[in-house]
Structure 1
Amino acid sequence: MARVPYFDLAQAPESYLQLIGSRPPLNLYRMLPHAGKVAEGFLALGGAILRENRLDARLREIAILRVGLLCGSSYEVHQHRRVARNVGLADDKVAALTPGADLGPLDATERMVLDYVDQVVAHVKAPGALFQALCDALSPALVAELTLVIGFYMMVSRFLENFEVDIEAPDAALASGWAKANIS
């Protein structure tokens, strides 16, 4: 159960309501308005990460799920397992993202992304050799996006966990058509 009551969306600013209008009815969007205008910036960055990125959606979801797992954010992991499947990430690859799991299903680039996530989450700065290898494999531009994905979802996980945002009923996201819409 959430630590504070969800925000009454009838009291939310019109600008916020417009931003969530086409989004699924997630509890995250009912908790965010407590942050005032900052919530709108949060939504803008999250939307850009999910819909305006150049990073392969499967690599993005590998990063997001690993961050959620490392941060202990069950809500984040729950939501992005569905997104990962919808962008074509196989179940065995999703399973391999759990710390300590067999990495066999992951290819070399996916493993490198996983290593990079682990280093950034645990130590802030990845070792030079790993950073350079990732830039060589992807490009500096894609590593920049990946780094922003990691940082954003660390923030998301901390928000979700500290406010103890509840996972929605199983049919809530499906009722809005979200499971297949605009997530890659």
Structure 2
Amino acid sequence: MSERLIPYQPMDLAEPAELVAAIRKRRGGQFINLDRMLLHSVPIAEGWNHFIGEIRNNLSLDPKLRELAMCGVAVLNGAEYEFFHHAPPFKKAGGTEEQVQGLRLIGQATFPRQLFSQVENDAADLTFQMTRNIKVDGTLMKRLQQELGSTDTVELVTVIAAYNMVSRFLIALDVNPEDHPPA
């Protein structure tokens, strides 16, 4: 195994104490490798913890749609670490194992649309369009706004945008899944 260009911060990192405590609290007491990389920059780690914490915990958007988008971005960008961490919450939010496997085909002609509801398919299409094309079809946005309302549509767009940022960070810095994933 080759040495990392930028090593993870130690698992037992104690400083800056307030930030470390806040991250551990959000993570249920532990760090994941993403946190250990972010902690090379206190301002980035602080902003990330707050912003992503809000996305993960305080949106009105259906958690299944949120996690569907996160998994979709992960697949489209080749960020296995992201998929590894978001497939379990997708299932916890009501997704099935068959849907998890189907999400691995997002953006392909073989994507199993029949496994998903109309709004889930629209969320998958939005994820694809935002991630690959940047521009989004106006008809799709209108359908989502009618189905979800303005707040949840804005939140879905933000989830997709934010997790594109996450995947780009993970891939550029070669952040890999932990040996023992958090519960």
Residue 126 of structure 1 is matched in structure 2 by: 136
Given candidates 37, 42, 45, the residue that maps to 1:39 is 45
Among the aligned pairs, what percent are the same residue? 31
Aligned length: 173
Residue 15 of structure 1 is matched in structure 2 by: 18
Residue 7 of structure 2 is matched in structure 1 by: 5
* Deviation of 1:162 (Å): 0.8
Matches within 5 A, 1:35-184: 35-99=41-105, 100=108, 101-169=111-179, 171-173=180-182, 179=183
**TM-score normalized by structure 1?**
0.88
The amino acid of 2:23's aligned partner reads I
Deviation track 1:58-85 (CA, whole Å, cap 9, x = no partner) reads: 0111100000000100100111111212
Secondary structure of 2:151 counterpart = helix
Q: Which runs of 5+ in 2 are unaligned?
A: none
Q: Which runs of 5+ in 1 are unaligned?
A: 174-178, 180-184
Residue 176 of structure 1 is matched in structure 2 by: none
C-alpha contact (below 8 Å) 1:67/1:150 kept by paired residues: yes
Residue 33 of structure 2 is matched in structure 1 by: 27
Distance 1:134 1:79 in 2: 26
* Deviation of 1:172 (Å): 4.1
C-alpha contact (below 8 Å) 2:14/2:20 kept by paired residues: no
The amino acid of 1:127's aligned partner reads D
Distance 2:15 2:145 in 1: 42
